Amino acid sequence: MISPMSKGLFHRAISMSGSPIRKVPTPRHLRPLAVRQAELLNCPTDSSRAIVDCLRTKTWREIGDSLSGFFEFDYDPVGLWMPIIERPLGQARFLTEDPVDVVKSGRMHAVPYVVSQTQAEFYWKAFRVLKNATLLAQMNSNWTAIAPISFILDRSGPSLAVSSALRKAYLNDRPLADDEQSARGLGTLYGDAVIGFEVHRLANLMSKYSPHKVFYSEFAYVGDSSHYVDPSTNRPIGAMHHDDLIYLFSLSYAFPFISAESKHGPFVDIMTGLWSTFARYGDPNPRGDIPEIANISWPAMTPAGRKYLRLGNQITVRERLFEERFRLWESLFPFQY
């Protein structure tokens, strides 16, 4: 929607658990990553041309297998390669200016829009830390160095103050331990930092500046399958990142197919009904042709009435998704909507 190359290519848009409106500045180049990629594959780094020419001789397998070399703490940072604001070098540019400026100025391919996030997003990341004695000790002893990596903070800014504020708010300044309190605090922090707050910022910005309706949702349905299950019970513990896709596309490569006769079949009908109605009409509210969503009313989000649809075991309309938590983030990363 914010790329000049995309105009006219689509007439609706859905963003599920992702946002181009970031809490750190959109970069103008990723040369440090390119240099690191070259180093991992034993390529010279003395010039951009040398890096490119060497990397072009490498196979996709060599490049793919080098991914782990980018991580600085376990599998963090989650985000590595990302869109940049490209310089004019004589070729078509996907991103020509900061996404915030594109949205605020109206220089976007505006279309009816659905924005969503899941209830627990990257909550599962907490378990990788808490159940690994080495990672747990490292995060406890070196929080101010690791927090900017794991929670994708601006390392060139006042990250010490931000890291300390997050530790106090989410962990009560309590040392991490392999217990429920730490899992809840650290898991929520991971989810808000990696996905939640930036999606919140996107939804609020778009509801103010888009000339079309914006619909906001929280996916909170917990079925029998999830991208993360409790290792002790083998059961899902929340609606994690990607779990919404199970009920839209089945993801049969990883999970059992949900048949119409399954107890989860009605929810599949609701998800696919809402999304297909939106794709067809630009509005997910029922038109009488899909009985499974006949009783659902999904109000558009506005700056004054920040309503959203909670897609859980019950379908409800609520207001101000996670905003009590996001007030802290708004103060740490000031922004003019």
Question: Hey, where are the domains in the chain?
Answer: 4-21+96-332
Would you say the pTM of this structure is higher than 0.85? yes
Q: What is the mean pLDDT of the chain?
A: 95
* 13, burial (CB in 10 Å: exposed 0-12, middle 13-18, buried 19+): buried
- pLDDT tens digit string along 158-180? 678 999 999 999 999 999 999 99
Query: Strands 113-118 and 315-319, how do they pair?
Result: unpaired
For residue 102, pLDDT over 80 is answered with yes
- The percent of residues in the chain predicted with pLDDT above 70, rounded, is 99
Q: Which residues, other chains included, contact 203 with Cβ-Cβ below 8 Å and sequence gap of 6+?
A: 115, 214, 216, 301, 308, 321
For residue 156, pLDDT over 90 is answered with no
For residue 230, pLDDT over 90 is answered with no
User: 114: closest CA among 245, 323, 309, 305?
Assistant: 309
The C-alpha atoms of residue 253 and residue 191 are separated, in whole angstroms, by 25
Helix (H/G/I), strand (E/B), else coil: 143: helix
Angle at the Cα of 240 from the Cα atoms of 247 and 152, rounded to 5 degrees: 135
- pLDDT tens digit string along 4-28? 999 899 999 999 999 999 998 899 9
Domain 4-21+96-332: CATH architecture, name and number where available: 3-Layer(aba) Sandwich (3.40)
Query: Mean pLDDT throughout 229-254?
Result: 92
- The percent of residues in the chain predicted with pLDDT above 90, rounded, is 92
Query: Strands 229-230 and 235-236, how do they pair?
Result: antiparallel
